[in-house]
Amino acid sequence: MFARAMPAPRRAGGVGGVTLGLAILGCALLVALLGPSLVPHDPLAQELAARNAPPDALHWLGRDHLGRDVLARLAAGTRISLAVAAGATALALLLGAGLGLVAEALGRWPSFLVFGAFDMVRAMPSILLALTLMVALGIGIWPLILALGVAFAPHVALVARAAWRREQAAGYVAAARVMGAPRLATLWRHVLPNIAGALVTQAAIIMPRAITTESVLSFFGLGVSPETPSWGRMISGAARFAESAPHAVLAPVLALCLVTLGFALAGDRLRLALDPLREGGR
């Protein structure tokens, strides 16, 4: 179905694909920043008389099962879903790369312990791990960011370790060591800038997964609190009324698909090199 639009010899994520992906992500970012103030409806205001009303001139995407404006909720949800995913990705990078690299720099035993813990986390499907963590932490935006960050950290740690080991073989690390630079200082000043590219790639891989996992968790009733308008909460609330108001389910589902597609297209070049989640990380 894509093949007709994209001629066979060219890569699916060619220059056009990357541009399209960046455009989608740019729009999503704009909606997240400006959207809630542009839509003239309150995402939380209920109008029970207009439950499940189809789209009309005033409410472009219709109303949901409590008579709330779907477009306003979609805009507010974009902000929340993107913020949660960005927070979780930042935490995953910090935890994974930070802990992993420091442990690796400190020597054999710290590295063994930290990566043993990461291996444990990795042996659990990330959805199940996040579900368990959400049970322990309770629902809400901050617990959600924490749970997702922990669930995705091990993948970052593996990539960071692989990059670190590759850099270890490079002359400049040996030179810094010979000159008596402390290990952690070498890590910070010399190695980190060199592996930053690999970490950015990881961010582009983790971000869409965090968005999806957030939706699944909220759909299960364990993500953000019920009144918070995130995409997953919108889907779970409207799913029971899919027969009478399919528009209220379709809007957040399409938004989710569009953003993940945007990341896939834009991240295609980045992803080529390192993806332990898909290509076998060890």
Q: Which residues in this chain contact another protein in the complex, by CB under 8 A?
A: 1-3, 6-9, 11-13, 116-117, 119-120, 123-128, 131-133, 135-136, 138, 208, 212, 215-216, 219-222, 235, 239, 242-243, 246, 249-250, 253, 256-257, 260-261, 263-265, 271, 277-280
Q: Length of the chain in residues, anyone? A: 282
> 1 vs 57, which CB is nearer to another protein?
1
The conformational region for residue 64 under phi > 0 = left, psi -120 to 50 = alpha, else beta, is beta
> 41 vs 271, which CB is nearer to another protein?
271
Least gap, CB of 258 to another protein (angstroms) = 9
> 136 vs 179, which CB is nearer to another protein?
136
Cα(212)–Cα(155) distance, rounded to whole angstroms? 17
DSSP state of 3: T
Are 150 and 121 in contact by the 8 Å Cβ rule? The answer is yes
> 44 vs 253, which CB is nearer to another protein?
253
Helix, strand, coil shares of the chain, percent, nearest 5, are: 70, 0, 25
Least gap, CB of 271 to another protein (angstroms) = 8
> 9 vs 171, which CB is nearer to another protein?
9
Least gap, CB of 3 to another protein (angstroms) = 4
Least gap, CB of 125 to another protein (angstroms) = 4
Q: Which is nearest to 262 in space by CA: 218, 212, 219?
A: 212
Q: Which backbone phi and psi does 63 adopt, to 5 degrees?
A: -120, 160
Using DSSP, state whether 215 is helix, strand or coil: helix
Least gap, CB of 251 to another protein (angstroms) = 11
> 140 vs 246, which CB is nearer to another protein?
246
Write out the E strands in the chain. none
Burial 229-240 (b: 16+ CB within 10 A, else e): bbbbbbbbbbee
Least gap, CB of 91 to another protein (angstroms) = 18
Q: Which is nearest to 65 in space by CA: 84, 78, 48?
A: 48
> 83 vs 124, which CB is nearer to another protein?
124
Cα(7)–Cα(58) distance, rounded to whole angstroms? 41
Least gap, CB of 208 to another protein (angstroms) = 8
